Structure 1
Amino acid sequence: MHPKVKPALRRGWRDLNTVQFGMTPAHAMTLGPMDSATGHFLELLNGTRGLPLLREEGRRMDLPDGHVDALVERLARAGLLDDAKGGSPAADALRTKKEVLDRLRPDVASLSLTTSRPGDAISRLAARRSLRVQVRGAGRVGTVLASLLSGAGVGEVDVRDCGRVEPWDVAPGGLPAESVGERRDEAARRAVRRAAPDRPPRRGPRPRIEAADPGYSLVILAPRDDVAVHAPAPDTAEPLITSGTPHLYAGVVEGTGVVGPLVLPGETGCARCLHEDRTDRDQTWPRLVAQWRSGRQPHVRPCDLALATTVAGLAAAHTLAFLDGQMPSSAGARWEVSLPGLQWHARPVWAHPACPCGAAERGKGERASEDAEAHETMAVERSPRELRRTAGAARPAGTWRAHV
């Protein structure tokens, strides 16, 4: 082990005996009591020395026997320590690709903030390289989103769409101006390759296939059609539900950006659940949707550039959290933000009993089990937090990535 204090956390002394690691409330931690000699020794925990050499340095600094090992163990237990040479075999392979790793060093540092065991951060980043994600939609949201995932180290990011690039599809980080007139999917894939830390080989044209590919860890639906964003067609996701493929919705409708729900088939509410719930609350909903879908479509739909980029960024963050084994807050919820106030709020997507996806039945069984254990007889409505917790407990995110 070559221990190093996580460089992502800035360090400062609160007093003569207490050191604070990190600045923000989400990650800051204090450690004490700590004497000045130990504080100076922290500077040596930079990943360049193994434990035997660190013990020698400790003796030179007149630290008590066993003090170095106790300090390293204490820091590791607190989640403040990383291992410069630790991690999985895939992490070792990534370290040999210096140019690639240099591109991804900020991502490794960020992952170290959400992992506790030394070596976990680079192992998770290396694991991304074996994952496959499909983005359906190559507009201002979809192409930027796909490029972000590729730049963050996801191994394969496929983009599906039809038609040719229009001038209004162009966006910084997405489709460039010189791609106007080209096939939209091919132009988007080039943007994805440009964003990748280690340029993947160019692939030939692919047939247009709407059925779910069981090899994808996640499918992201980012349609250019604003109606499809506001009212996702349940039929579109049926193959994904059937194959058990997790999928995430994202897009812009009018002046509102939407991220979610992240659908875990059979676990959390899906597009049909959303439709059925809206119909229960508003009987005119199906009539309105039919008119929106069949009516005359505007030649250019509203899609604020900054809003689209914001949506792409948040959707990419939720995607990466899921791929890294976490359960983001979009599981069972839609995050929405509207111009000009730009205040994010979450709308829960409840599993509906009339939907054949099975999420409601599973939720009912979990509720019954919880009630029996607590000797409760009254039905209790689950909060979005409970929904996400039980979904994660029922099937850990890692099992959803078994499609790798």
Structure 2
Amino acid sequence: MVYALDPRIHRVWRSPSSLQFGVDRAILTLDDLSNADERMLVALEAGVTMSGLQMVARRARADAGAPARLLERLAPVLAVPRGAEQESERGAGRPVAVVDGAGHTAVRLIEVLDAAGVDVRSGLSWTDPAVDTAAVAVVVGSFAIEPERHRRWLRRDVPHLAVVFGDERVRVGPLVDPGAGPCLGCVDLHRTDADPAWPAMAAQLHTRDARRETPLIGSAAAGVAAFAVLDRLGGGRSLSGSSVTVDYADGARAERSWEPHPACGCLTLPTPER
């Protein structure tokens, strides 16, 4: 097994014997570093096995426990040990995310998620096994997502994130947790409360292209969606029950929370109208 410092974390010396990991935020600060510690850190920059680290420590006249103690202190800033990474890849595949939609945003989102190590699929039929086993899906559309389209993800208990282009802004979210939060049907019902004519308008808009998906706006929307997807795959809840809009004119962002609608049956039986 090879141990190495995470190359993404920058290191700066605070003093001749104090080393800080992280610049904007100090992830770790090591004080009172010895000559042996410094030599082992040099070895860890390129990657070294435990036996190699022990040899460096012996040559620097450190005691036998020095390598283990240093590795324990460095735990927050170590890269995934290469042996453990290979074993993980053999033991389980990458998490699967499905992009349900087409266009610049979908293409950019696929590129970003793939670069982040996600097994991202697109253009799948509803009979594809990946549809049922996906960890998360992103549904891209204009104005309003067709009910049957998002209900298919709801029925499969797959968390899904909406990316919806409108006349003046694109909305990313909410990220729907089936059975645990508002669904996209709840969003439509809330919009109907605000404007009773919304269902009639939405029916006309389900298959209409908003024609506002420029490379700039698409990249912005893909960035917001990618952060939410990666956070979810890591166990977080970004955009769960909430959405972010990006304005076409100036890129301004606004966030809104959504509540389950009492007339929707996604969580409980709908509340009868009086």
> TM tier, shorter chain?
0.7 to 0.9
Q: In 2, are the aligned partners of 1:250 and 1:311 still within 8 Å (CA)? A: yes
Match of 2:143, SS?
helix
Unmatched 5+ stretches in structure 2: none
Equivalent residue for 1:395?
none
Q: In 2, are the aligned partners of 1:254 and 1:302 still within 8 Å (CA)? A: yes
TM-superposed deviation, 1:292: 5.1
Equivalent residue for 1:134?
98
TM-superposed deviation, 1:298: 7.5
Equivalent residue for 2:138?
220
TM-superposed deviation, 1:81: 1.7
Match of 1:221, SS?
strand
User: Partners of 2:186 and 2:201 in 1: how far apart?
Assistant: 20
Match of 1:86, SS?
helix
Relative to 1, partners in 2 of residues 1:31 and 1:341: Cα closer, same or farther, differing over 3 Å?
farther
Unmatched 5+ stretches in structure 1: 94-122, 161-205, 362-404
Q: In 2, are the aligned partners of 1:352 and 1:360 still within 8 Å (CA)? A: no
User: Partners of 1:239 and 1:3 in 2: how far apart?
Assistant: 44
**1:274 equivalenced with 2:187 (yes/no):** yes
User: How many residue pairs align between the two structures?
Assistant: 268
Q: Deviations over 1:333-380 (max 9, x none)?
A: 11111133323232112223332111799xxxxxxxxxxxxxxxxxxx
Q: In 2, are the aligned partners of 1:250 and 1:258 still within 8 Å (CA)? A: yes
Equivalent residue for 1:14?
14
Q: In 1, are the aligned partners of 2:147 and 2:185 still within 8 Å (CA)? A: yes
- The TM-score, its normalising length taken from structure 1, stands at 0.58
Q: In 1, are the aligned partners of 2:172 and 2:243 still within 8 Å (CA)? A: yes
Work out which structure has the larger RCO, using CA pairs closer than 8 Å and 6 or more positions apart in sequence: 2
The share of aligned pairs that are identical, in percent, is: 27
Equivalent residue for 1:184?
none
Q: Which structure shows the higher helix fraction? A: 1
Equivalent residue for 1:319?
229
Q: In 1, are the aligned partners of 2:189 and 2:263 still within 8 Å (CA)? A: yes
Q: Deviations over 1:320-345 (max 9, x none)?
A: 3323x322411111111113332323
Q: In 2, are the aligned partners of 1:336 and 1:346 still within 8 Å (CA)? A: yes
Match of 2:229, SS?
helix
Q: Which structure shows the higher strand fraction? A: 2
Q: In 2, are the aligned partners of 1:220 and 1:249 still within 8 Å (CA)? A: yes
Q: For residues 4-403 of structure 1, what are the structure 2 equivalents within 5 Å?
A: 4-25=4-25, 28-46=27-45, 48-76=47-75, 79-82=76-79, 83-87=81-85, 89-91=87-89, 127-128=93-94, 131-155=95-119, 157-159=121-123, 213-223=131-141, 226-228=142-144, 232-280=145-193, 282=194, 285-291=195-201, 293-294=203-204, 301-323=211-233, 325-358=234-267
User: Partners of 1:260 and 1:298 in 2: how far apart?
Assistant: 20
Relative to 1, partners in 2 of residues 1:299 and 1:42: Cα closer, same or farther, differing over 3 Å?
closer
User: Partners of 1:358 and 1:254 in 2: how far apart?
Assistant: 31
Match of 1:5, SS?
coil
User: Partners of 1:353 and 1:245 in 2: how far apart?
Assistant: 22
